[in-house]
Amino acid sequence: MNTNNSPSAHVHRDDEAQKMGMWFFLFTELLLFGGLFLVYSIYRFKNPDAFAHGAKELNVVLGAINTIVLLTSSLTAALSITAIQKGQKKLALGLVLFTIFCALIFLVNKYFEWGHKFEIGIYPGSDLLRAIPRGEALFFVLYYFMTGLHAIHVIVGAIILGFMARYIQTGLINSDYYVLLENGALYWHLVDLIWIFLFPLLYLIH
Amino acid sequence: MEAKASTFVQGVDTAFIVILGISLFFLITITAAMIYFVIRYNRKKNPKPKDVKDNTRLEILWTAIPTILVLLMFWYGWIGYTPMRRIPAGALTIKATGRMWSWNFEYENGKQSEYLVVPVGKPVKLELYSPDVLHSLYIPAFRIKEDVVPGVNNVMWFQSDKPGEYDILCAEYCGLRHAYMLSKVIVKPVEEYIQWYHATVDSNSMADVEPIGLQVLKKNACISCHSLDGSKIVGPSFKGLWGSERDVIDENGKRVKVNADENYIQTSIYEPNQQVVEGFNKGLMISYKEAITDEELRQIIEYLKTLK
Amino acid sequence: MEEHKSHIIDYLTQIKVWVALVIFTLITVATAEVDFAMLTVAVALTIASVKSILVLLYFMHLKFESRILNLFVIVVMLVFLAMIVFTFFDYIFRLSHGS
Amino acid sequence: MGENVQHLSFLQDNGGKKGILAWITTTDHKRIGLLYFYSLTVFFLMGVVLGILMRLELMNPGKDLVEPQTYNSLFTLHGVIMIFLFVIPGIPAVFGNIALPLLLGARDVAFPKLNLLSWYLYILGALMALSTLLFGNAPDTGWTFYAPYSVRTGTNVTMAVLAAFILGFSSILTGLNFIVTIHRMRAPGMTWFRMPLFSWALYATAWIQLLATPVVGITLLMIAVERMLGIGLFDPSLGGDPILYQHLFWIYSHPAVYIMILPGMGVISEMIPVFARRRIFGYKAIAYSSLAIAFIGYFVWGHHMFTSGMSGPARVIFSLLTFLVAVPSAIKVFNWVATLYGGSIDLKPPLLYALGFIFLFLIGGLTGLVNGALAADVHIHDTYFVVGHFHYVMFGGTGFAFFAALHYWFPKVYGKMYNVKHATRAFWVLFTGFNILYFPMLVVGMMGMPRRYYDYLPQFHIPNLISTFGSWIVVSGLIYMIVVLIQGYRKGTPAGKNPWGGLTLDWQTDSPPITENFVELPIVTEGPYEYK
Ligand code: HEA
Ligand code: HEA
Ligand code: CUA
Ligand SMILES: [Cu+2]
Q: Are D141 and D132 in contact (CB under 8 A)?
A: no
Total domain count for chain B? Answer: 3
Could you tell me the pTM of the whole model?
0.90
- Please work out whether the CB of residue D386 comes within 6 Å of at least one atom of ligand 2: no
Query: What is the per-residue DSSP string for D338-365?
Result: HHHTT--B---HHHHHHHHHHHHHHHHH
Assess whether pLDDT exceeds 90 at residue C12: no
Provide, rounded to the nearest whole percent, the portion of chain A with pLDDT above 90. 34
Assess whether pLDDT exceeds 50 at residue A6: no
Query: What is the per-residue DSSP string for B187-241?
Result: EE-HHHHHHHHH-SS-TTS-GGGS-HHHHHHHHTTGGGTS-SSS--SSS--STTT
Looking at residue C1, its pLDDT comes to 35
Q: Are D505 and D105 in contact (CB under 8 A)?
A: yes
B104 in the same domain as B161: yes
Q: Is residue B172 part of a domain?
A: yes
With CB atoms and an 8 Å threshold, state whether A124 touches D180: no
Which candidate in D118, D165, D210, D218 is best for mutational testing of the A interface (most A CBs within 10 A)?
D218
Q: Which of B63, B85, B107 is the last residue of a domain?
A: B85
Looking at residue B131, its pLDDT comes to 85
Q: Which residue has the higher pLDDT, C83 or A175?
A: C83
Q: Which residue has the higher pLDDT, B50 or A148?
A: A148
Report the number of secondary-structure helices (H) and strands (E) in chain B. 6, 13
Closest CA to D62 of B180, B298, C97: B180
Q: Which contacts (CB < 8 Å, 24+ apart) does range B38-42 have?
A: B38/D340, B38/D345, B38/D347, B38/D355, B41/D276, B41/D340, B41/D341, B41/D342, B41/D343, B41/D344, B41/D345, B42/D344, B42/D345, B42/D346, B42/D347
Three-point CA angle C59, C61, C65, nearest 5°:
170
Residue nearest to atom 18 of ligand 2 (CA): D79
Q: Is residue B163 part of a domain?
A: yes
Q: Is residue B274 part of a domain?
A: yes
Q: Which of B198, B224, B249 is the last residue of a domain?
A: B198
Looking at residue A87, its pLDDT comes to 83
What domains can be seen in chain A, in order of their start residue?
A: 8-204 (1.20.120.80)
Q: Is residue B4 part of a domain?
A: no
Q: Is the peptide bond before B101 cis (omega within 30 degrees of 0)?
A: yes
Residue nearest to atom 1 of ligand 3 (CA): B135
Q: Are A62 and A112 in contact (CB under 8 A)?
A: yes
B137 in the same domain as B104: yes
**What residues in A contact C85, CB-CB < 8 Å?**
none
Looking at residue C97, its pLDDT comes to 43
CB environment A92-104: b (16+ within 10 A), e (fewer): bbbbbbbbbebbe
Which candidate in D57, D78, D149 is best for mutational testing of the B interface (most B CBs within 10 A)?
D149
What is the Cα–Cα distance from D95 to D98, expressed in whole angstroms?
Answer: 5
What is the Cα–Cα distance from B260 to B304, expressed in whole angstroms?
Answer: 11
Burial of D285 (0-12, 13-18, 19+ CB in 10 A): buried
Q: Are D272 and D340 in contact (CB under 8 A)?
A: yes
Burial of D64 (0-12, 13-18, 19+ CB in 10 A): middle
Residue nearest to atom 39 of ligand 1 (CA): D368
Of the ligands numbered here, which is closest to the C-alpha atom of B147?
Answer: 3
CB environment D4-42: b (16+ within 10 A), e (fewer): eeebebbeebbeeeeeeeeeeebbbbbbbbbbbbebbee
ipTM of the complex: 0.87
DSSP bridge partners of B126: B94, B156
Assess whether pLDDT exceeds 60 at residue B63: yes
Q: Are B166 and B142 in contact (CB under 8 A)?
A: yes
Closest CA to C16 of A79, D113, A180: A79
What is the Cα–Cα distance from B52 to D168, expressed in whole angstroms?
Answer: 43
- Please work out whether the CB of residue B173 comes within 6 Å of at least one atom of ligand 3: yes
What is the Cα–Cα distance from B63 to B55, expressed in whole angstroms?
Answer: 13
- CATH number at B63 reads 1.10.287
DSSP bridge partners of B97: B104, B129
* Secondary structure element (H or E) that encloses residue B157, with its range: strand B155-158
What is the Cα–Cα distance from A120 to B188, expressed in whole angstroms?
Answer: 61
Q: Which CATH number fits domain D2-508: 3.30.70.141, 1.20.210.10, 3.20.20.140, 1.10.760.10?
A: 1.20.210.10
What is the Cα–Cα distance from A80 to A91, expressed in whole angstroms?
Answer: 7
Of the ligands numbered here, which is closest to the C-alpha atom of B176?
Answer: 3
What is the Cα–Cα distance from A28 to D173, expressed in whole angstroms?
Answer: 10
B98 in the same domain as B131: yes
Q: Are D459 and B167 in contact (CB under 8 A)?
A: no
**What residues in D contact B20, CB-CB < 8 Å?**
370
Nearby residues of A10 by Cβ (< 8 Å), 6 or more positions away: none
Looking at residue A7, its pLDDT comes to 34
Hey, what amino acid is at B2? E
Hey, what amino acid is at D151? V
10 Å Cβ neighbour count for A186?
Answer: 21
Shortest CA distance from D310: residue in chain C: C90
Q: What is the DSSP letter of D521?
A: -
Nearby residues of B183 by Cβ (< 8 Å), 6 or more positions away: B102, B103, B114, B115, B116, B168
Q: Are B277 and B248 in contact (CB under 8 A)?
A: yes
Looking at residue C98, its pLDDT comes to 40
Closest CA to D209 of D118, D123, D330, D127: D118
Assess whether pLDDT exceeds 80 at residue B177: yes
* SS3 of residue C35 by DSSP: coil
Q: With an 8 Å Cβ cutoff, is C90 touching chain D?
A: yes
Query: Which band of pLDDT confidence, cut at 50, 70 and 90, is reported for residue B269?
Result: confident
3-state helix, strand, coil in chain C (%, to 5): 80, 0, 20
With CB atoms and an 8 Å threshold, state whether D307 touches B76: no
Tell me the angle at which helices D384-391 and D349-372 cross, rounded to the nearest 10 degrees: 150
By Cβ distance, the residue of D236, D362, D378 closest to B150 is: D236
Give the distance (Å) from ligand 2 centre to CA of residue D49: 9
What is the Cα–Cα distance from B187 to B118, expressed in whole angstroms?
Answer: 5
Q: Is residue B253 part of a domain?
A: yes
* SS3 of residue D169 by DSSP: helix
- Please work out whether the CB of residue B170 comes within 6 Å of at least one atom of ligand 3: yes
Tell me the angle at which helices C39-54 and A179-199 cross, rounded to the nearest 10 degrees: 170
Which domain, by its residues, includes B260? 212-304
B100 in the same domain as B67: no
Residue nearest to atom 47 of ligand 1 (CA): D365
Q: What is the DSSP letter of D239?
A: T
* SS3 of residue D524 by DSSP: coil
Burial of D369 (0-12, 13-18, 19+ CB in 10 A): buried
Looking at residue B1, its pLDDT comes to 42
How far is Cα of residue A121 from the mean position of the Cα atoms in its chain? 27
How close does chain A come to D484, measured CA to CA in Å? Answer: 34
DSSP bridge partners of B116: B185
What is the Cα–Cα distance from D175 to D179, expressed in whole angstroms?
Answer: 6
What is the Cα–Cα distance from B135 to D417, expressed in whole angstroms?
Answer: 53
Residues with CB under 6 A from ligand 1: B 22, 26, 30, 66, 69-70; D 144, 257, 260-261, 303-304, 322, 325-327, 329-330, 333, 362, 365-366, 368-369, 371-372, 377, 381-382, 386, 389-390, 393-394, 397-398
Residues in chain C: 99
- CATH number at B223 reads 1.10.760.10
Q: Are strands B183-188 and B144-148 parallel, antiparallel or unpaired?
A: unpaired
Average pLDDT over residues A166-170: 89
Looking at residue C5, its pLDDT comes to 56
Q: Along the 532 residues of chain D, how does pLDDT read in single tens digits?
A: 344 445 777 777 777 777 787 788 888 898 899 999 999 999 998 899 999 999 998 888 888 888 888 889 889 999 999 999 999 998 999 999 999 998 988 888 889 889 999 999 999 999 998 888 777 778 888 999 998 888 888 788 888 899 999 999 999 999 999 999 999 888 888 888 889 999 999 999 999 999 989 999 999 998 888 888 777 788 887 778 899 999 999 999 999 999 999 999 999 999 999 998 888 888 889 999 999 999 898 889 999 999 998 888 899 999 999 999 999 999 999 999 999 988 888 889 999 999 999 999 999 999 999 999 999 999 999 999 999 999 999 999 999 999 999 999 999 889 889 999 999 999 999 999 999 999 999 999 999 999 999 989 888 999 999 999 999 999 999 999 999 999 998 888 888 888 888 888 888 888 788 878 787 788 888 878 887 7
Q: With an 8 Å Cβ cutoff, is D310 touching chain A?
A: no
Interfacial A residues in 106-125 facing D (CB < 8 Å): 124-125
Closest CA to B73 of B130, B21, B138: B21
φ and ψ of D224, to 5 deg? -60, -45
B74 in the same domain as B15: yes
Q: Is residue B179 part of a domain?
A: yes
**What residues in A contact C73, CB-CB < 8 Å?**
23
Average pLDDT over residues B243-255: 78
CA C67, C68, C70, C71 dihedral sign is: positive
Q: Is residue B240 part of a domain?
A: yes
Closest CA to B158 of B77, B204, B92: B92
Assess whether pLDDT exceeds 60 at residue A98: yes
Of the ligands numbered here, which is closest to the C-alpha atom of D384?
Answer: 2
What is the Cα–Cα distance from D384 to D370, expressed in whole angstroms?
Answer: 13
What is the Cα–Cα distance from D135 to D159, expressed in whole angstroms?
Answer: 11
Chains in contact with C, where contact means 3 or more Cβ–Cβ distances below 8 Å, are: A, D
User: What confidence tens digit (pLDDT) does each residue in B73-92 have?
Assistant: 999 999 999 998 888 888 89
B194 in the same domain as B101: yes
